[in-house]
Amino acid sequence: MTDIAPSLLSADFAFLSDEIKKVEKGGADYLHLDVMDGIFVPNITFGPPVIKKLKKITSIPFDVHLMIDKPERYIKDFVDAGADILTVHAEATTHLHRTIQEIKSHGIKAGVSLNPATPLSSIEYILEDLDLILIMTVNPGFGGQSFIKSMVDKIIDTRRLIDERNSKILLEIDGGVKLDNALELSKLGVDILVAGSAIFGAEDVVKRTKEFKNLFVK
């Protein structure tokens, strides 16, 4: 079963609580929150104070994707804000193993995200410490980009690596996921699909969330 994580990046920021209620009604499994700092990626979004407020209005688990430089500086802030999964980029932190340990010490799930050009081998030796691997299927920074086709091989390799180790690590992909490729991608063994513009760009967000969910009903 594949879970769906609508990315708030494509929501109307003037009506965040209404937007969240819509995906909640549609049956979203997670809410994906993209935090950008204008340094690691060329865009700026929101931080812990906004997430903390949003946490009060919904019970959907928060999947927080940090696209920020040196994320180790802010782990406690995001934990206190209500992150259930906290994912950092392998490219953004020098001591990735230490950063992961720090996240886990707070009792939440720790994820590592890899940019399209970053090899899977960069996390091979810390695999047993991870709860989630987030494969970027676009270059991070913006919603609405096209899925990079060569990432299919990376998804397959990641699934194989997880299975070879008999691990429970969740495999998540992010970027360019649409209604017409979601099922095919889920069949590669993806546990969580992130979809931003495909959900919040729809005229009827509740209906679109349900359409995604229905794809995976066997």
Q: Which residue is nearest to Zn ion (CB)?
A: 65
Query: Cα(168)–Cα(92) distance, rounded to whole angstroms?
Result: 25
Q: Which of 144, 168, 184, 187 binds ligand DX5 (CB under 6 A)?
A: 144
* Shortest separation between residue 112's beta carbon and ligand DX5, angstroms: 14
Q: Which of 7, 158, 186, 209 binds ligand DX5 (CB under 6 A)?
A: 7
* Shortest separation between residue 85's beta carbon and ligand DX5, angstroms: 13
- Strand, coil or helix: 132: strand
Partner from Zn ion, ligand DX5, none binding residue 71, C-beta < 5-8 Å depending on class: none
Residue 143: closest CA among 192, 202, 216:
202
Query: Please, which residue, 44 or 125, has the CB nearer to Zn ion?
Result: 44
**Is residue 197 involved in binding ligand DX5 (CB under 6 A)?**
yes
CB 134 within 8 A of CB 172: yes
Catalytic residues: 34, 174
Residue 43: exposure state from Cβ atoms within 10 A (0-12, 13-18, ≥19): middle
**Is residue 6 involved in binding ligand DX5 (CB under 6 A)?**
no
* Sheet-wide strand order for 170-174: 3-6, 192-195, 170-174, 132-136, 109-114, 85-89, 62-67, 31-36
Residue 171: exposure state from Cβ atoms within 10 A (0-12, 13-18, ≥19): buried
* Shortest separation between residue 193's beta carbon and Zn ion, angstroms: 11
Partner from Zn ion, ligand DX5, none binding residue 135, C-beta < 5-8 Å depending on class: none
Biggest CA–CA distance in the chain, Å, is 45
- Site string (34-73) toward ligand DX5, x via CB under 6 A: x------------------------------x--------
- Determine the straight-line distance between the first and last CA of the chain, rounded to whole angstroms: 9
Q: Which of 3, 29, 34, 37 binds Zn ion (CB under 5 A)?
A: 34
Q: Which residues bind ligand DX5 (CB under 6 A)?
A: 7, 9-10, 32, 34, 65, 138, 140-141, 143-145, 174-177, 194-198
